[in-house]
Chains A and B, each alone.
Chain A
Amino acid sequence: AQKITQTQPGMFVQEKEAVTLDCTYDTSDQSYGLFWYKQPSSGEMIFLIYQGSYDEQNATEGRYSLNFQKARKSANLVISASQLGDSAMYFCAMREEFQGAQKLVFGQGTRLTINP
């Protein structure tokens, strides 16, 4: 079974600093996808970034980048130049493909607080 581990329950960062949120994963599949979602207090899950297991380049989306280290089974999220609006819960997830379904297996999340 697939498993996602996020070891940082909470992170506090000064505005404009960069922050790295840790994520390690466990799977026996050769083909898989890794995601980061942001969940503000409103509750919806907002997609941030995706990394496929066969992608050779680390994924980037604006201020977000994914530091993918396949041998270490880690997929850390890096947010550059943090903003107050980045304060939220952040979830790392792995896509599990089974009979056409693309189920997501989530970690426990990291609560990020950006201080002014």
Chain B
Amino acid sequence: GAGVSQTPSNKVTEKGKYVELRCDPISGHTALYWYRQSLGQGPEFLIYFQGTGAADDSGLPNDRFFAVRPEGSVSTLKIQRTERGDSAVYLCASTNQGDTEAFFGQGTRLTVV
């Protein structure tokens, strides 16, 4: 596609439920990043993929959060046993080698009620 695509754009879930957030990066981009943006804050790094492997997952807040990128393109961020504090906008970005900037999607707004 022309840009980074994230689905769904909005997700409302009940506390304790499991959710999956999808990111479709720019075609051919090898690096993919997930960020979380809480209300009134700047985005915070969660995890980075180079190809299929998670090269840096140091930003994942706890073991309820997990992400995969099985074929080196689409990535899914998975959150188990959601909590109200997980409510935020989850942003995905992709880059290719040599790119100066990261290209972001429009985000998924997750609301846990």
Residues of A within 8 A of B (CB): 4, 33, 35, 37, 42-47, 50, 91, 93, 98-109
A102 touches B50 (CB 8 A): no
Number of chain B residues close to chain A: CB under 8 A: 27
B40 touches A108 (CB 8 A): yes
Residues of B within 8 A of A (CB): 31, 33, 35, 40-45, 48, 50, 55-56, 59, 89, 91, 93, 95, 100-107, 109
If over half of B's interface residues share one DSSP class (helix, strand or loop), that class is named, otherwise mixed; here it is strand
Closest chain A residue, CB of each to CB of B40: A108
B45 touches A108 (CB 8 A): no
B89 touches A103 (CB 8 A): no
Residue in A44, A47, A91, A101 whose CB lies within 8 Å of B42: A91
B45 touches A100 (CB 8 A): no
